[in-house]
């Protein structure tokens, strides 16, 4: 599904590489966690895998598509059609209801408003938001906002869900519920997930954990908590 080969990325004006030669692959239906301290390069690597940025060197393939070979328009299409993003601070549009936020990617992809809203409501129910779908983001809890953000990220059935510290702004109860939702969607929809966190308990929910330090994977570190075995596809 996702293949990353000796990828590097250095930001302008920075002495060190944010990502300094990283290789790994994620199989379809896998749930992989990137773990490591703040500043070790997790977000940068997620942005590269999510077609939000291009590597300086190395290759990233999503399915058969070599992301580094795409022009800006094609990269935007990959991002819109094949990738879903979940962020630490939800990034919902405040002037839209939760249902409208969830429907937005479908509208951008050309669905009719009626069809987009119907699918948004079905998925909203699925993520446990039935009673809150007509509320605005400011009227609901952080956990509810994040569940809406997850629904928005997967409503167009992306190949890959990229989640950057999705529980980082939630209390432990809401964090656990969001994590359980991600596990449930991974198992029931065979949703492929690449998630970054610095919290061992969050990473332990994944099938596999990759440990990062200073832009590289720490060799042979293994998972910090026993990882779940991948379910057969």
Q: How far is CA 170 from the centre of its chain?
A: 16
**Tokens in use for 72?**
């800006």
* Other Cβ atoms closer than 10 A to 25: 12
From residue 19 to residue 58, what is the string marking binding to ligand ADP with x (rule CB under 6 A)?
A: -----------------x-xxxxxxx--------------
Q: Which DSSP helix (H) or strand (E) runs through 209?
A: strand 208-213
Nearest CB to ligand ADP, comparing residues 36 and 124: 36
Q: Measured from the CB atom, is 14 or 188 closer to ligand ADP? A: 14
Comparison of 18 and 216: residue with beta carbon closer to ligand ADP? 18
Q: Beta-carbon neighbour count of residue 220 at 10 Å? A: 6
Query: How far apart, in whole angstroms, are the C-alpha atoms of residue 160 and residue 153?
Result: 10
CB of 34 to ligand ADP, least distance (A): 8
Question: Which two tokens mark 1?
Answer: 């599904």
| Options 11-19, 78-86, 126-134, 220-228: segment touching ligand ADP (CB under 6 A) | 11-19
- Asked if 188 touches ligand ADP (CB under 6 A), the answer is no
Measure Cα distances from 78 to 53, 70, 116, 166 in Å: 12, 9, 20, 22
Looking at the Cβ atoms of 39 and 222, the one nearer to ligand ADP is: 39
- Residue given tokens 């991974």 in the structure block: 186
Residues 204-223 that bind ligand ADP (CB under 6 A): none
Give the binding site for ligand ADP (CB under 6 A).
11, 14, 18, 36, 38-44
């Amino acid at each position: 599904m996702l293949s990353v080969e000796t990828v590097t990325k250095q930001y302008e004006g920075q002495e060190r590489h944010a990502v300094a030669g990283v290789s790994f692959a994620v199989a379809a239906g896998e749930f992989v966690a990137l773990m490591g301290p703040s500043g070790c390069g997790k977000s940068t690597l997620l942005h590269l895998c999510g077609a939000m940025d291009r590597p300086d060197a190395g290759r990233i393939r999503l399915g058969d598509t070599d992301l580094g070979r795409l022009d800006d328009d094609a990269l935007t299409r990959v991002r819109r059609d094949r990738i879903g993003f979940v962020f630490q601070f939800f990034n919902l549009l405040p002037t839209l209801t939760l249902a409208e936020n969830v429907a937005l990617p479908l509208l951008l992809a050309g669905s009719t408003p009626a069809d987009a809203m119907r699918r948004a409501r079905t998925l909203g129910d699925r993520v446990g938001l039935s009673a809150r779908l007509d509320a605005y983001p400011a009227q609901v809890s952080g956990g509810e906002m994040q569940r809406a953000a997850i629904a928005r990220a997967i409503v167009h059935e992306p190949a890959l869900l990229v989640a950057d510290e999705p529980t980082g702004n939630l209390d432990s109860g809401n964090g656990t519920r969001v994590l359980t939702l991600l596990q449930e969607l991974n198992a029931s929809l065979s949703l492929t997930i690449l998630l970054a966190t610095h919290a061992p308990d969050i990473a332990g929910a994944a099938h596999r954990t990759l440990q990062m330090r200073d832009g590289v994977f720490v060799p042979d570190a293994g998972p910090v908590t026993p990882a779940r075995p991948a379910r057969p596809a």
